[in-house]
Structure formats: C-alpha cells, structure tokens
Amino acid sequence: MTSLAMKSVFSKFTSSLPQPPTKSRGIETAKNELLQTISSTNNGKDSTVETQIRVLGLIDYLETNQPVSDSLFTNPIESKAIDGVWYLKYTQPSSIDGIDTDSVGDDIDIDKIQPWTPKESTLELTNKLDTREAKNAGTVSFLGVIKVPTSSKLTTQTIGVKDNIFANSVIQDFGTIEVKGNFELDSVPNRIIAAFDSGTLTLNNGFVIDFSFLFALRLKLNGGMKAGGWLETTYLDNDIRIGRGNRGSLFILTRDNTIVM
C-alpha cells in the first residue's frame, strides 16, 4: 500500500500524494518503507539499482529529519540505545556516486539524492585508513581484504560502549566466523574507529581455528597501525541502526532478527 509520505520522501518516484501530517508519522512511514524495500534482497546481494537508489532516498529522509545526538557515545544514558547485539540486514554503496546508474529509467530523478560526504577527521589514525571503495553488497570485509558473504547468513555486530568493545560474527554453513577488538572515538561525532585483534573460526564440529595471528601480522606490516576502519552511525532508533564506513559502504542493522526477511 502506498504511504501518505510518498510525496515528501519519495518525490523521485511519485508526486501525486499529500504530505504526511506530522514529522514523526513521516519518519515511521519512511522507516517501514525502508524495511520493506530491503526485504528479500539477501543482505543487499540481490538488490537492483532501483532498490539501491530508493534506499538512499529513504535514508536521506531519516538522517535529515531525525539526526543522531552528537553525544551518543559519550553520554552513558544515550549510549544504551546503541549498546548490545545488532543484526546486519543490508549492505550497499553509501553514496549515489558508488552506484551504476546508467540503466536507471527516466522516471527516477537521481539528481534529488545528494551524495553523502564524510566529515574530515582531525585524528591522524583516521586519515591513514583505507578509503578505497569496497563493493560490499551482501558481504562484510575482515582485515580489509577477506570478504565474507552474508546473504542468507545470520550476521551480528556487537557494541559495548562502556568497555569500548566491538565484534562481528557471521554464521556460515561450515561454522561461525567471529572477529573481536576495541574501538576509540573519532573527532567526528558518532564515528568510532574499530581495531580487531582476535579472530576465530568455530567449525560445526566444535573445532576452533584461531586466526588472530593475521591481525598481529598486519599490525607489523602496517608499521604498528591496527587493522580496522571507521564506522559512523547516521541514524538510530529502537528498531534500526544505519551506519556508513570508511570504504564507501552503507549498513542497515536491526535489533529484532525477524523484522527483515
């Protein structure tokens, strides 16, 4: 069913419906449309160009109308909103510039979607991180080199603000891959710099393969710079979290694993 918010949120798709009566209703409508749009895309692997453009339009609306507090990671009360386990449900390029729009029909006005430009950091560590675009639709990257498929796989991200803990886990057919580490705050609000220092592959038979040495090896090869990247939270509520990374990827995560199929 077409929502009442379609005119303001999706004017690039239609322009015949009235504005939402309130901002809160518009946000809720946009969020529901977003969850519906990313459903059945296998974590973004099967998303079409039209879907990716639609996602960017919806996210732009959410980020603009309900920005994240700058003290999300520094206020103990506010940080409870992001603490804990999140389920990764969708990945795609973070900006319209990373999407091949040559095949898009004339009925979709891509000029109305503003490219997302990350703010510059004052930290030397952040500015040394790899910013080359990673094609991560339906995947996550470990070590910045190894891509792990996440389509139709249970993928979680855990954040512990008090102890600066950060972990990613993907359940594959053969077992569970998990990387853990810590994070520090960037000078840009709501951006964390995650550095992994341990990783394990737990096979279905219970045998554990520890590949933490790869992080130590990369640390030496990089002149003491820990493996990892930055992740900026650009939208957050009780149900979903939207993040953008240093390599041009966008991530949509949910608290409830069943909210997106």
pLDDT digits (tens, 9 = 90+) for 58-106: 999 999 999 999 999 999 999 999 999 999 999 998 887 777 666 665 5
Say if residues 160 and 171 touch (Cβ distance below 8 Å). Answer: no
| Residues 31, 48: Cα–Cα separation, whole Å | 19
Single pTM value for the model: 0.83
Residue spans of the chain under pLDDT 70: 1-22, 100-112, 130-138, 141-146, 223-227
CATH number belonging to the domain at 6-97+130-254, selected among 2.30.110.10, 2.40.50.100, 2.40.128.280, 3.40.50.1370: 2.40.128.280
Say if residues 137 and 91 touch (Cβ distance below 8 Å). Answer: yes
**How far are the Cα atoms of 19, 66, 223 from residue 11, in angstroms, in the given order?**
10, 19, 49
Say if residues 42 and 152 touch (Cβ distance below 8 Å). Answer: yes
Say if residues 123 and 68 touch (Cβ distance below 8 Å). Answer: no
CA contacts within 13 A on the Cβ side of 41: 26
Count of residues in the chain: 261
